[in-house]
Structure formats: C-alpha cells, structure tokens
A and B are shown apart, each in its own frame.
Chain A
C-alpha cells in the first residue's frame, strides 16, 4: 500500500495537478462562503472547466471543490450566522455566539484546524479501509436508515435547551416542512396547494438561511450599537488548554463523520448534526453549548469534512453516488470517460491513489490558504451594521437564486425568517 501511496503522491505532485488542487480548493472555498451555494452547485458549476481535462486532474480538482466548499461554508456560518452550506448549519450554533463575543478569529481558527483534522481522518479511512467499507455501506437498508433518522430526531432533545416542549415543537415543524411535495413512495402531492414550485419540496438550506441568517438580521436591527461584534476579532491564537479541549471532540467527530459519510444518503449535514449532539451529550459543560463553546465548533467541523471524504467510498468502490454531490461528480466522471466502480481500484490505481494523495495535499492547502485569511474575513464584523444588514440579505438572495434559479424560493426566505421573529 505504501508503494501505491507513493505512486499516488507522484501523480498528485506534478505541477499541473498541484495547480488543479489549488484551483479546486480555492474555488470551493469561495463558493462555499457564499450562503446558499453549496458543494453541489459548486461542482456542477466547475464541470465545464473540467471538460477536456485529463480525468485524473479533473477528479482531483472537483474533489477539491467539494471539500473546499464544506470548508468555506463554516466562515459565513461563524461570522454572519448565514450557513454557507447545509453541512455547516451546526457550526453556527456555537461559532456565531463566539463571533459575537469577539472570538471570531478563534472560532475560525478552530474551524480550520478541525476541518483539516477531520479531512485527514477521512482520507486515512478512505485509504485503509475503503474496499471493506463497501459492504458496510450496502448493508444499510430501510430499517437501519429509519433507526438513523430516529436517532437524529431524538438528538433534538439534547439540542432543545431547557424547554423540551418547544424543542419538540420545532422538530415537528421541521418534519412538516420536509413533508411538503410529492411523496417519493406514492407520487401523491402533499401540502403543495397546487403550486408546482412546491412539488419537489422545500430546500433545507433555504429554510436554514431564513431561520438563521435573516432572523439574525432582524435581531441585529434592534440590537444596540452600530458596529458588529467589535474588538478582539483578530486573535486566532489558541492556548494549549484550548487545544487540549478541542482535540478529543475533533478526533471523535472525525471518525463518526467518516462512517456517516460512507453511508449512501447520509452526508456532511447529518454527520455534523449527529456530532454536535454527541459532543453536547458527552461534554461535562454540555449546557454551555449554543453559547460559544469551542467544542461545539470543533466537533461538527471535523465531522462534516470527514463525511465529505467518506462519501467518496461508495462512489469509488461501488460506482454509486452516496449523495447529491457525488451523483454530480459521477456524472462528470462518466463524461470524462471514467467509470468508477469495483473495477476502478484494479484498473485505474493511479486515479484512486492520485485522488487520495491529492486530498492530503488539498487539506493542507486549505489550512495554509485560510489561516492567513482569517483576520481578513473577520473584518466583516467591523462593517457598520447599516451596511452589513442589507449585504447579508443580498448574499442570501444570490445564494438561494443560484441554488434553485427560482424567485419562488426567494419568496420562501421571507416567511421562514418571519416565522421565527
């Protein structure tokens, strides 16, 4: 295996492929920061560029876009409470309070470090046990998925804070929103009021942006002071104690996230929420989650990156996409004349190992790229509120439109925000 990995690094380290890794993660990060546009749109939008490229370089670049987008999404979650991608909604629970407390730099640094760690755990997993995991992935049937969903919903109990009833009410509302659209089992429409725009349901991220970002903007309107959270935003240094504090959750969540990511149909979003509720339950200071607890940022950030890598397992070993994002990736590979599947490891080892090696490099590039940028990003918080408030709205609107190309979906933003304010 070491031989193969060395061979993989030889593939990934060519100047051309290094450039594509760099372009991929950079583009991914930028698209990810924009609220709404997530890895799925990011990859679909980068596909035209990938046409005509060498297939190995193309998948290296597109994979970079994927985990770059998940990485970038945390920035807007933390700074604006406007999740850049669905996988980073959980990050905003503690990341945004940290930013409000003037610890934006610290929160972003934790996000970067734990994303890096989670991504690396994922790559190690992909390298060591990918073929064996294929059977784990297919063993998940309807019963297991049902159990996973029940687990997810009960996790609400741990997120609900003091008032269990209100927590459950939000969970019920969430399921109600998810039920809108054509029932996939019977093709009967539910709660669509005969609006074709609702037939395919309501996008999770639109609700999240409305509930988190726009509602936060409404709150900002009435909050005292003109600036955002001022002061201390630039310090990203973590003390040794803080490092010790976030290490266990980062490692735990990385492993959890990887296995969740491997499951077809569950991805970075599920992984990050499960990690958040797991960490909250394990932590001795669990009741401070939601108020800027470092572990509440480290856990989900590690999990969502590990899950993004994990979702390559079913794609590369079975040739079946485990998520919407990998489905688009699969389509891109087919166009490039590559058929991922059980034969890929034997037939095109240079591609598999090149990808694995490029992921090590990509994670490192992300870290190196983002740490120096943190003070720049954090300046956003110094923007006068009168300017920042309309800007957040505009970014949400652009993101949602880019996600669905539909003004109707923009219309859904407002009621989502209204309903919680």
Chain B
C-alpha cells in the first residue's frame, strides 16, 4: 500500500490522513523512549510565549465523530488538508474517526481530554439535538467553541409536476392531514426540526405533519421521485443536482436571503413565514482552553477561510461561508438550542 501512495508524491491528501496518533500520556512516555520521533514534544499545554500568544507544539488532532465519508468527515479532512497544504500550520494535522451513537462516542472521547489544546473536533446541529434527545452525556456546554465556519440551508422539495406552488400549499396539505414528508435523519433530529419549525411558523400544526425518516437525504429524494412521499426536506447542497435537472422543485429555502446557486427559489421569509434554519458547521475543542489558545485557533480558521483553495472547495461542497469567532459562536449555539427546544416542544418531542 505504501508503494501505491508513493506514486503520488504531490498528493496533498497524504499529510492529513497520516495516522500516527500518539495519545496524551503515550506521547509523554514516548518522549522518554525515543526523543527523536517527537522532537517537538513539550508540556501538555503547549507553549505560551511571553507576549501572550500561543502555538501548538505537537500534531493537532481533529476528530470527526462519525465514520469516514460523511459530512463531519468531509469537513474535518478538507480543513486538515487545506491547513497543511496552504502552509498555515507548522504541526501536522491528523483526522481521527470516532463514529457511533450519532456523535456521542466522539464527543465523549474529546471530553476525556479536558484542556488539551491539540484536540479539536468538527461540529454541526447534532451537538445540540442529540443531547436534547438524551442520547449523549455531553452537550455543547462541555466544550470550548472555536469558530463557526460555514453553513448550508434546507430546501423543501416537491416533484416537478406537483400541484403545490408555495410552502403555504404544503402547510395546507398538512392541515388536511394528508402530507407525508420525508427527511434524511431520524425524528427529532435536524431535518425534522427544520420541517416542524417551518410548518409551525407558517401557522400550521407541526405535530400533524407526518414526518418519514429515511437513511440520508438521497433516499428521501428517491422516495419523493417515486411518489412514495409528498414532499422532502433536504440540504441545498444535497438537492443541487436534482434541482438543476428540474426533476424536483423547491417550495422554499430556509436561508435568510436567496442562495446564490438557486436565486429563483424563494426564501421562507419572502413568503411571509418567519423562519430560517442553518445547517451550520464549525470547530470545537475540549473544555478548559486558555484564551491565547482559543485566539490562536480563531485566527487559524479565519485565515483558512480566506484562502482561494477553501473558497473553491466550499463552493463545490455547497457551503456558504459563515465565520463566527469563539464568543459569537458560543452565543449562537445557546440561541440555537433555545430555538430547537421550542420547536421540539411544539411537536411533542421534548
């Protein structure tokens, strides 16, 4: 296998996936055994220089609390790869997958490294929703927010030949008790909240909407194409191909302003429905980081997002830049939790 990868000396991917992942204690022990291997190994906390700035002195580990290939993994690997290839970090960056329990396994892993500034993880709405469902011991308060990076929005889809024209038509159908609406995740999770919140804001009965969970947005759209559900709620980037091909049509999008790729899709706000929903993506760290450490990573990710390479890749992945620094991101998370709680209470899931 080594031979195969070495055929691509220029492949930037080689770095970020390198998997030497010494644990905290292991690294300390290792330093005694073989100082050469980890020449930069210092104290656990890294080095805070006299002017109050801090820089990592060991490889940085970014945890994706999911298996390889999903949304979290994509974010983790993309940012790790770009941080290295753009020369923004001096340390190497490793992506570690800790899948399971909708993220809870990965969160527990990171939470176990309190105050370790070399352990980051990528995050999105499930960090709020999974603990609310009682499926994770840790919630967002147990971590240090670093930065919000990007966001995506939800579209509410119907087949191209559907009679429904506006989101209100869908709400009316819900009111008549006849709407099956598919989504890509389980009840009480992201897609369901995005649906229920919108229906509720439009004056409909969110609990009456029959939400049908599928295994991913792709399956939900397939079911919609086959006429097995009446509508589907899916991320814009996932639906892009179908929308462009005209197989499916969007009744509305959950963004505050129309999205660049599909200016013809009206936002819910434009339809006088006071609701927006963000599929935000960001980076968090264990609890107990020092200010200088947080500041280092805030700047690091802000710099990353200004690079040409990030701009190109995030467009192809359907992400919209939505940077927030640690403090704003923290406040945003609190607001989001309140909003989700209200919606879930409305549906009767809280």
Contact = CB atoms under 8 A, between A and B. Distances in A.
Do A and B come from the same complex?
Answer: yes
B37 interface: no
B265 interface: no
Contacts of B223: 138, 141
Nearest to A332: B69
A407 to B, nearest CB: 11
B221 A327 contact: no
Contact of B186 (A137, A184, A318, A406): A184
B142 to A, nearest CB: 15
Interface in A39-81: 40-41, 43-45, 47-52
Contacts of B247: 318, 341-342
A341 B242 contact: yes
Contact of A48 (B17, B99, B108, B133): B17
Interface stretch (B2-10, B120-128, B251-259, B270-278): B2-10
B68 A23 contact: no
B108 to A, nearest CB: 7
B189 interface: yes
A355 B7 CA distance: 22
Interface string A212-251: 0000000000000000000000000000000000000000
B175 interface: no
B89 interface: no
Query: How extensive is the interface on chain B, given as a class?
Result: 35 or more
Interface residues of A, number: 56
Interface in B68-85: 68-70, 73-74, 77-78, 81
Contact of B69 (A47, A200, A264): A47
A155 to B, nearest CB: 23
Contacts of B213: 184-185
Contact of B104 (A51, A196, A321, A336): A196
B14 A48 contact: yes
B100 A51 contact: no
A27 B68 contact: no
A320 interface: yes
A365 B77 CA distance: 31
Contacts of B339: none
B17 A335 contact: no
Given A23-B7, A49-B5, A406-B100, A138 B69 contact: no
Given A47-B13, A197-B105, A331-B69, A341 B100 contact: no
Given A196-B135, A339-B240, A343-B245, A27 B101 contact: no
A139 interface: yes
B102 A199 contact: yes
5 contacts: A186-B187, A199-B100, A200-B101, A321-B216, A328-B68
- A-B residue pairs, 4 tightest by C-beta: A48-B13, A341-B241, A44-B68, A328-B69
Given A141-B223, A344-B241, 10 more contacts: A44-B67, A50-B13, A137-B222, A141-B227, A185-B187, A196-B137, A197-B105, A200-B102, A339-B240, A343-B241
Interface of B: 1, 4-5, 7-8, 10-14, 16-17, 67-70, 73-74, 77-78, 81, 96-102, 104-105, 108, 133, 135-137, 186-189, 213, 215-216, 218-219, 221-223, 225-228, 237, 240-242, 244-247, 313, 316-318
Interface of A: 23, 26-27, 30, 40-41, 43-45, 47-52, 137-142, 182, 184-187, 189, 196-197, 199-200, 264-265, 314, 318-321, 324, 327-328, 330-331, 334-337, 339-344, 404-406
